[in-house]
Structure 1
Amino acid sequence: MPITRAFQAVAHRGDPYVHRENTLPSIRSARRAGAAAVEIDVRLTRDGVPVLLHDATLRRLWGHDRALASVTADELRALTGGGVPTLREALAEDGPGRLFVDLPDPSAASAAVAEVHAAGAAGRVYYCGGTDSMREVRRADPEAEIALTRTTLTPPPAALLAAVRPHWLNYRFGLVSPELVARHHADGYLVSAWTADTRRSMRRLLAADVDSITTNRVSTLRSLLAS
């Protein structure tokens, strides 16, 4: 797949200052705000159902001291009043833009990719995560669009890039500089940055010529782009 450049405003876990993160209302709100893509986190329940949750437990968002991996999808629905959607439900949502599937747990990768393909959604989903997760995505889908997450300025090993074949290199925003972006562009990669929430940080990243910014404040980013 050829690399083409067009800036994307990515909503981090939906629109979390308006609705609870990684929920269907949050996704809908982010799309109404003009997000080109909505980043969601996907993990597995005990019975192997891909659902939207960043944390390994339900404590922070849902007030239950339970590990997600210890509950079934039906138990999760009961515990959260249906608040934690399945990936299937998120894929069934109508709306513009793409879903950016973050995989904090590599064991969820193959099931997530399978769900995306079962929904006929491969063309409107791309993936991000660390090395192990993205290796699993590449094994499951040779054509997947991948953003390889980086938390260090150490250059990715050539063998890793050859194995994962990312379209994007996805950096913590404080690591990004114009020189870094220019180097990766010269090598044929797109550069995304996460998670920038102030106008100052957004302006700095735009000046560095990044291709995507992931933010908790997508309305702020969109208004900055419009101005």
Structure 2
Amino acid sequence: MAGVIAVAHRGDPYVARENTLASFASAVAAGADAVELDVRATADGVPVVVHDATLERLWGHRAAVAELTAREVAALTGGGVPTLAEALAVTAPVRTLIDLPERLPVTARAAVATVRELGVAGRVYYCGDPGALRAVRAADAEAEIALTWKRASRPRASLLAEVRPRWLNYRWGLVTRATVLAAGAEGYRVAAWTADSRRTMRRLLGLGVTAITTNRIAALRAELDRAARG
């Protein structure tokens, strides 16, 4: 369906382990328009791609990412947790949505600095904790931001003014036709996460969202192609 962006959540996690280079490559091959990935900072300030605060769920180590150096993270995971720079090299064919799940400004600043150093700001945008997004905006006046929102109430006017998002990034169950219309009237695009059933994907398309994030990127691509054919 023209104009709707298919966002691969942590890559292609049903094919390869989430937030790994293999997962990102699979998502690109499956037709993602953008790849979402999570960033945390190591003890030595290196932004690495992992969602959880510890390595326990995916890698079997209870160690906190923030208490390890980047070299230690690599050693404990057999190189499985990429740096943000490594991930951005793999996602180069498409856009990258950097999710900042923790409030710490240091992580946001490290991510923005890496994006700036690599010269890839034009294909990167940000979502995550509102506190982290404030830090993104403070670090980069031109950054494209998708304000992640998990409540039925509208984001506060003061937060919108401070963050200046291009997108309102809603949990999928909060999206209604009224939500989309109200956001559009104020100049925002609406993104929805994380929609994995085809029924939910079709519902969101019918409501007029501009982007859908999913763990099943091939299924979403098929739904978008079906809708485009009418």
TM-score of the aligned structures, taking structure 2 as reference length: 0.95
What's the offset of the Cα at 1:106?
A: 2.9
Of 149-158 and 216-225, the range deviating more from structure 2: 149-158
Alpha-carbon distance in structure 2 between the residues aligned to 1:195 and 1:62: 23
Instruction: Report the AA paired with residue 7 of structure 1.
Output: V
Pick closer, same or farther for the CA change 1:94–1:102 going to 2, 3 Å: closer
Q: Would you say 1:175 and 2:174 are equivalent positions?
A: yes
**Which of 45, 54, 65 pairs up with 1:48?**
45
**Which of 65, 75, 78 pairs up with 1:78?**
75
SS at match of 2:168: strand
What corresponds to 2:214 in structure 1? Answer: 215
Instruction: Report the AA paired with residue 165 of structure 1.
Output: R
**Which of 77, 90, 95 pairs up with 1:93?**
90
Instruction: Report the AA paired with residue 157 of structure 2.
Output: A
What's the offset of the Cα at 1:202?
A: 0.4
Structure 1: any 5+ residue segments left out of the alignment? none
CA-atom RMSD in angstroms: 1.1
Instruction: Report the AA paired with residue 61 of structure 1.
Output: L
Instruction: Report the AA paired with residue 92 of structure 1.
Output: A
* 8 A contact 2:35–2:91 mirrored in 1: no
| Identity value in percent | 61
SS at match of 1:66: strand
Q: Would you say 1:166 and 2:129 are equivalent positions?
A: no
Of 36-45 and 148-157, the range deviating more from structure 2: 148-157
Pick closer, same or farther for the CA change 1:18–1:179 going to 2, 3 Å: same
Q: Would you say 1:31 and 2:7 are equivalent positions?
A: no
* 8 A contact 1:28–1:95 mirrored in 2: no
Structure 2: any 5+ residue segments left out of the alignment? none
What corresponds to 2:140 in structure 1? Answer: 141
Alpha-carbon distance in structure 2 between the residues aligned to 1:19 and 1:130: 26
The count of corresponding residues between Structure 1 and Structure 2 is 223
Alpha-carbon distance in structure 2 between the residues aligned to 1:76 and 1:170: 30
TM-score of the aligned structures, taking structure 1 as reference length: 0.96
Q: For residues 144-159 of structure 1, what are the structure 2 equivalents within 5 Å? A: 144-159=143-158
